[in-house]
């Protein structure tokens, strides 16, 4: 059954125009093409990222936090109470009134003492400000360097300026070293996020993060295997252009630089809306929907690619609406800094739920 499924999945009639297939992507005459077997290199790259991250957080992010004045709040340590601890760990961190009454009877504590114990116990479990700062610093550094590297890799490529060039000669598109490393490093970074999720700050959108990371890995791998390399590099560059701005806004809010964080957030919102709601639909999607049909008859891979692009655009619209609401709220509220603090510490899209999805 597995072999039959694999044979069906790799059927060249699904992924290539009529008359073309996997044989056309075999290396020859010094020309190299993307192959599914190349993706194995992602695992050692992901492990390398985990090591580099630990070094970065210790030698760069921690001293930077001290320079920027990141201050930890002193948290009171709760007294050890086996009954309350068991209830906290095994039942709920936010007991109802009836549960509090029952716990009062079991422990001999007053209602106020039980409520205070749970409040302090929850505070103990909250990640420290320094930990959040280090994580945001790591992501900011990667996204900024990835954007610069992607721009350097594409700056002299004709399909950066004429999107029709993405499909000239498809699928027989020679793989360039810069494209290879851009793909492998981006993919390796997202695999490393899967490995590190257990030790990272666990946010309210934890499940959404996991779905996003897995979808990102699938989509980058898919575009690699069927040689949508040129389209894939453009889309990754487009998403990289705003991600580092969001992470930098988080860094400033953790450091207490609220006005700077607000300005950076508005810059992020402007770049996000321009790239995701203008360039992406009117240039990228237009090129993937219109241009291939001027060269080939429709095939499954063409429909599948554009389906994924439309799903991605729907996510862009959803997040853009949320970002605009936040921006309006910031402008119209006298407690702008409070809203910004909550937003930047909980917003985890790329904006981490839509970025790097192809």
DSSP 186-237: HHHHHHHHHHHTTTS---TTHHHHHHHHHHHHHHHHHHHHTT-HHHHHHHHH
Q: Which of 74, 344, 345, 71 is nearest to 201 (CA)?
A: 345
CA geometry: angle at 35 spanning 139 and 44, to 5°?
Answer: 40
Q: 178-208 pLDDT, tens per residue? A: 999 999 999 999 899 888 876 666 666 566 6
Query: What pLDDT does residue 345 have?
Result: 54
Residues 146-177: tens digit of each pLDDT: 999 999 999 999 989 988 888 888 888 888 89
| Token pair recorded at residue 141 | 């550094």
Extract the tokens encoding 139. 């992501």
On average, the pLDDT of the chain sits at 82
The tokens for 5 are 């499924």
Please report which confidence band the pLDDT of residue 323 belongs to, taking 50, 70 and 90 as the band edges.
Answer: confident
Looking at the predicted structure, is the pLDDT value of residue 249 above 60? yes
Choice among 60-64, 121-125, 178-182, 198-202 with the minimum mean pLDDT: 198-202
Structure tokens at 100: 């509090």
% of the chain beyond a pLDDT of 90:
28
């Amino acid at each position: 059954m597995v072999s039959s499924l694999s044979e069906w999945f790799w059927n060249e009639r699904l992924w290539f125009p009529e008359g073309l297939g996997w044989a056309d992507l075999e290396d020859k005459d010094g020309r190299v093409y993307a192959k599914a077997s190349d993706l194995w290199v992602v695992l050692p790259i992901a492990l390398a990222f985990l090591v580099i991250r630990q070094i970065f957080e210790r030698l760069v992010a921690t001293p930077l936090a001290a320079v920027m004045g990141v201050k930890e709040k002193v948290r009171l340590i709760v007294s050890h109470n086996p009954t309350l601890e068991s209830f906290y760990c095994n039942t709920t961190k936010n007991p109802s009134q009836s549960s509090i009454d029952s716990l009062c009877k079991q422990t001999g504590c007053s209602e106020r003492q039980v409520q205070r114990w749970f409040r302090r116990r929850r505070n103990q479990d909250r990640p420290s400000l320094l930990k959040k700062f280090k994580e945001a610093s790591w992501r900011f550094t990667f996204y900024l360097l990835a954007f610069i590297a992607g721009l350097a890799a594409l700056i002299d490529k004709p399909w950066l300026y004429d999107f029709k060039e993405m499909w000239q000669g498809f699928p027989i598109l020679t793989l360039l070293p810069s494209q290879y490393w851009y793909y492998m490093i981006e993919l390796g970074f997202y695999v490393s996020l899967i490995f590190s999720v257990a030790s990272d700050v666990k946010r309210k959108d934890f499940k959404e993060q996991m779905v996003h990371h897995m979808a990102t890995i699938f989509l980058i791998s898919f575009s690699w295997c069927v040689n949508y390399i040129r389209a894939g590099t453009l889309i990754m560059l487009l998403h990289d252009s705003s991600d580092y701005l969001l992470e930098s806004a988080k860094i400033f809010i953790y450091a207490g630089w609220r006005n700077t964080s607000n300005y950076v957030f508005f810059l992020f919102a402007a770049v996000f809306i321009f790239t995701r709601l203008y360039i992406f639909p009117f240039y990228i999607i237009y090129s993937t929907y219109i241009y291939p049909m001027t060269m080939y008859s429709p095939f499954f891979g063409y429909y599948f690619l554009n389906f994924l692009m439309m799903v991605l655009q729907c996510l862009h619209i959803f997040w853009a609406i949320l970002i605009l609401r936040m921006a309006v709220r910031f402008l119209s509220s006298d407690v702008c800094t409070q809203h910004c603090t909550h937003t930047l510490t909980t917003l985890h899209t790329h904006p981490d739920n839509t970025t790097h999805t192809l």
